[in-house]
Structure formats: C-alpha cells, structure tokens
A and B are shown apart, each in its own frame.
Chain A
C-alpha cells in the first residue's frame, strides 16, 4: 500500500513538473494577450473593389471596409484579397470561395501574422497595424504594412512606421514595473524577511 502511494506521488509530481508546457493556443503563464487588429488606410481609393481577409486554418474570413480594424484567429496567418465589386456577392463568401482556382479573387502579396502576447507586466494594451494598398489591377494586389500604433494602459499611444516589411517596429515602452520596485519587491523585501526570521530564531536561541 505504502509503495503504491509513493508511486502515485512520484507520478503526480512528475506530471505536475511537466504540465507547464503551453498547449495549442493557450496563453503561456507570465504573459498576457493584447488587443490587436489590422486596418487598411486607403480602401476608399478603390471604390470598384471589395476587400476581404481569410485565415485558412480555422476558416476565419470577412469583408474589410474603410475604417474597419479586423482580427483573425490568434495563431493563424491571414491573406488579403480584392474582388471586383460587380462580381461580389457576400452570400457566396465561405471556405470554398478562397479556393486557388476562384477567378474572381485577386490575391495580395502579403501574409498577416497575429501580434501575440507580451510579458505580464508589459504596459501595452492595444496594437493596430495599418496597411496601405500600393497598387491594384485585375491580376495583382500590392499591399504593404505602413505603420503600427501602440496604445498603452495609461492611455498614451505612439505610432511607428515600418522600416522593413519583415520586422514590426518595437514599442518604445516594454516594462511596466519600475526598477526601484523590482529591486525592493523581489530582492530587498524577501532578504529583509529572511534576516528577520533568522534574527527571531537567533534571539530566541540566545535567550534560552
């Protein structure tokens, strides 16, 4: 019986030990998700076209209007498409609509990533990535990421232009807890406490 209990304890402890790995789309402990979305700044410049996005992994798609900030599955990759307005019927919009051989679709050169999560004490609250249509003709759609707007928990925000299409500009602020608090809270307080505990035990020992 005792051996079985020890075995059970070892199995339970081992499973707990390895249970920290994040599964699928769960948020990793110690991090938080931030609101993020994409917008296209100049849809109104192309009144004869409808723009749609599609995330293939979970069939997450929708129409993008001027001023819309759209979001897709948080571990997916999304593409953007244009369709001549005359050929577009929103009721046709489904998973099959995005098949390779759909002649109505004008595929863009861009693939969009989700923003992801940040460290638990990060001041970031929202990320808006702005896209710009550079050119559109019946065979090609050229879009680029033009800037990113970071909004912080204290209500401030900043806008940063993309220097490269492969790398998102970093936010200027990344750590919420100031250094003095980190030092006081994680070093000075526990060290003082352990010295206090030691002092209590020592005083008691010498009093006896």
Chain B
C-alpha cells in the first residue's frame, strides 16, 4: 500500500481513537475536544514516526515520550490536573499502540 496513504490513515485512525477516549473521560465540548485531539496528534504522530524511522528506533521509549508530551498537552488544553491528563494519555496511547501492534502483525 502507498506509504503516503498509510501515514495519513494512521493519523486519521489515531485521532479518531484518541478522540473517543478523551470524549469518554471529559464528555463536554465535542468539537473543542476533537480539535485538541487533532492538534495534539498532528504534532506527536509525525514527530514520533520521524524519530522512530530516522533517529532512535526504540518503540517503547518513543511511546513513553509521546505519552508524556500528550499528558502535558491534554493538561494544558483541557485545563485538567496532571494525574487525570496522564491517565487519559495512558489509556489513549495504550489503545493506539496496541492497535499498531495488531495492524503490523
């Protein structure tokens, strides 16, 4: 499959999954949460892909970095406390990481 299409598809799927998880936790401001999810993942997904493929090929370290970065972004954008932001980020990134493992296999 075309790699351009795969990259775009990965972003769309990640945004949708993480949006659903954020929505389950927050349950208000539907469009705002979607916009925030889109912004966060438009930063973390290409950055993570670039680091993994060209700089540092360690899936777990990159996932931890993404989890931490998204925790901070979620905390700032949704104006919630860091522990809750971390929990949301952990659930969201675990879900997308597991999905990526399933799809790769």
Binding site for B on A (CB under 8 A): 16-17, 19-20, 28-30, 119-121, 176-178, 181, 185-186, 189-190, 192-194, 196-197, 200-201
Point out the residues of chain B lying under 8 angstroms from A119, CB to CB. 53
List 5 additional contacts besides A16-B58, A193-B41; criterion CB under 8 Å: A17-B58, A181-B7, A190-B46, A196-B42, A200-B36
A120's partner among B42, B53, B60, B64 (CB-CB below 8 A) is B53
Contact call B76/A201, Cβ cutoff below 8 A: yes
Which residues in B have their C-beta under 8 angstroms from that of A20? 56-58, 61
Chain A residues with CB under 8 A of B57: 20, 28-30
Main secondary structure of the interface of B (DSSP, over half): helix
Assess whether B40 is interfacial by the CB under 8 Å rule. yes
Q: What's the dominant secondary structure at chain A's contact region?
A: helix
CB of A197 to closest CB in B, whole Å: 5
- Is residue B39 within 8 Å, beta carbon to beta carbon, of the partner chain? yes
Whether B54 is near chain A, meaning CB under 8 Å from some CB there, is yes
Interface residues of B (CB under 8 A from A): 3-4, 7, 36, 39-43, 46-47, 49-50, 52-54, 56-61, 64, 73, 76-77
CB distance from B48 to the nearest CB of A (A): 10
Report chain A residues within 8 Å CB of B59.
29
Taking the nearest CB of chain B, how far is it from the CB of A207, in angstroms? 12
* Interface pairs (28), CB distance under 8 Å: A16-B61, A16-B64, A17-B58, A20-B57, A20-B58, A20-B61, A29-B52, A30-B52, A30-B53, A30-B54, A30-B57, A120-B53, A121-B53, A177-B4, A181-B4, A181-B7, A186-B46, A186-B47, A186-B49, A186-B50, A190-B42, A193-B41, A193-B42, A196-B42, A197-B39, A197-B73, A200-B39, A201-B76
Chain A residue nearest to B53 (CB atoms) is A30
Residues from chain B with a CB closer than 8 A to the CB of A178 are: 4
Smallest CB–CB gap between B105 and chain A, Å?
14
Q: Which 3 A-B pairs have the closest CB atoms?
A: A193-B42, A193-B43, A29-B57
